[in-house]
């Protein structure tokens, strides 16, 4: 004997089934997005993590410091989504910086010029060079296994990047900088004119 269901009951069962399908699909999408973020940000671009990064840097020759804080929010520029980091200076100044991944390269959005530049290649190697969009700066990976000692810690296996002014446009900045990065951590220290300028505390 076959039981017949009313159209009303069939409609209720259909709605319940669709709700379950939507719920499961949503969970799969969320899990997939989370995995993608971990893989891209923490593994492939670990020399310059763009989210979840909080760090304090001290100026070598003064009591001043700068604090980098992940604001755990995003911002859209030119139809591209960036993670937002706040930079707080000990003398009260605050600025926000924007970063995103493109093919696992770390990109930085300059709010003053409205342009985007690569700040760290996805697969850095010694000798790799690139320039800012406005051709004002050139960057080069000069070492992938550098040693460094700061006032608080000894490091090894660091990436060393050289940043050089091409046009001498920024009069308040030096001609060359040497920046050190640790895999899985990010920036460790900066040198200018052969002297330590800033170094990471935490």
Please tell me which residue, 16 or 29, carries the higher pLDDT value.
Answer: 16
**Integer Cα distance of 72 and 77 in angstroms:** 17
pLDDT at res. 58: 97
pLDDT at res. 171: 85
Residue percentage of the chain with pLDDT more than 90: 67
Question: Which tokens sit at 112?
Answer: 């003053």
Spatial strand order in the sheet of 115-120: 115-120, 105-110, 94-102, 80-89, 65-77, 55-59, 195-200, 186-192, 176-182, 154-165, 137-149, 129-131
* Candidate from 30-34, 93-97, 191-195, 196-200 with smallest mean pLDDT: 30-34
Q: Give residue 7's pLDDT band: very low, low, confident or very high (50, 70, 90).
A: low
Asked if residue 4 has pLDDT above 60, the reply is: no
Q: What angle do CA 77, 103, 162 make, to 5 degrees?
A: 85
pLDDT single digits (tens) 12-22: 555 555 544 44
pLDDT at res. 41: 46
Asked if residue 111 has pLDDT above 90, the reply is: no
pLDDT single digits (tens) 143-196: 999 999 999 999 999 999 999 999 988 888 999 999 999 999 999 999 999 999
Asked if residue 100 has pLDDT above 90, the reply is: yes
pLDDT single digits (tens) 75-84: 999 999 999 9
Residue percentage of the chain with pLDDT more than 70: 78
Query: Structure pTM?
Result: 0.77
* DSSP-derived secondary structure for 27-48: HHHHHHHHHHHIIIIIIITTTS
């Amino acid at each position: 004997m076959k039981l017949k269901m009313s159209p009303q009951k069939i409609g209720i069962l259909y709605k319940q089934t669709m709700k379950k399908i939507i719920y499961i699909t949503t969970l799969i999408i969320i899990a997939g997005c989370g995995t993608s973020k971990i893989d891209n940000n923490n593994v492939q671009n670990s020399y310059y993590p763009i989210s979840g990064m909080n760090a304090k840097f001290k100026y070598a020759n003064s009591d001043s410091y700068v604090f980098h804080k992940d604001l755990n929010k995003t911002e859209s520029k030119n139809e591209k989504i960036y993670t937002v980091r706040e930079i707080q200076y000990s003398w009260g100044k605050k600025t926000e910086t924007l970063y995103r991944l493109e093919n696992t390269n770390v990109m930085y959005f300059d709010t003053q010029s409205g342009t985007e530049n690569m700040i760290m290649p996805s697969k850095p190697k010694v000798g790799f060079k690139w320039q800012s969009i406005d051709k004002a700066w050139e960057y080069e990976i000069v070492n992938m296994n550098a040693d460094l000692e700061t006032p608080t810690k000894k490091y090894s296996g660091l990436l060393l990047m050289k940043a050089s002014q091409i046009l001498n446009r920024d009069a308040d900045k030096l001609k060359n900088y040497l920046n050190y990065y640790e895999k899985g951590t990010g920036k460790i220290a900066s040198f200018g004119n052969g002297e330590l300028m800033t170094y990471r505390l935490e």
